[in-house]
Amino acid sequence: MRVAAPPFRLPAVALLPIVLATFAFAHAVLVGSSPSPDSTVKGPNVEISLKFNVRIDVARSRLELMLPGNTAERLPVREGKAANLMLAHATNLAPGKYKLLWQVLASDGHITRGEIAFSVQ
């Protein structure tokens, strides 16, 4: 007696490339930043650069700077030379601890958020 293979085995294998491709275009992941996490930078003016693993929509992304007194200041963002870069400039920062709160819209349509703590000397 011969047993036939279940009919779902071939379609599941055929879907594997689609599932893997979905993960390849997953949410934006921060792959580099300046200032880097937990670093100390020279003030009072700080150039900010965030690099992601995928293209981002800078026009629909946000960057806020948490000041030492726990107040937030929204920073105007601009596009970098590459589609996966977000740039900003913070001015007149006094010595202390700061936190960048970022939110980006990735090319896959998903929003990703994160934070970067740093200090100004």
pTM score of the predicted model: 0.77
Q: Are 113 and 27 in contact (CB under 8 A)?
A: no
Q: What is the pLDDT of residue 18?
A: 46
Closest to 35 measured CA to CA, from 117, 121, 114, 102 = 117
Tens of pLDDT, residue by residue, the chain (121 residues): 565 555 555 555 454 444 444 444 568 999 999 999 999 999 999 999 999 999 999 999 999 999 998 999 999 999 989 999 999 999 999 999 999 999 999 988 999 999 999 999 9
* DSSP one-letter string for 64-78: EEE-TTS-EEEPP-E
| Largest CA-CA distance found in the chain, in angstroms, rounded | 82
The per-residue pLDDT for 107 is 86
pLDDT score, position 121: 95
Instruction: Supply the pLDDT for residue 27.
Output: 85
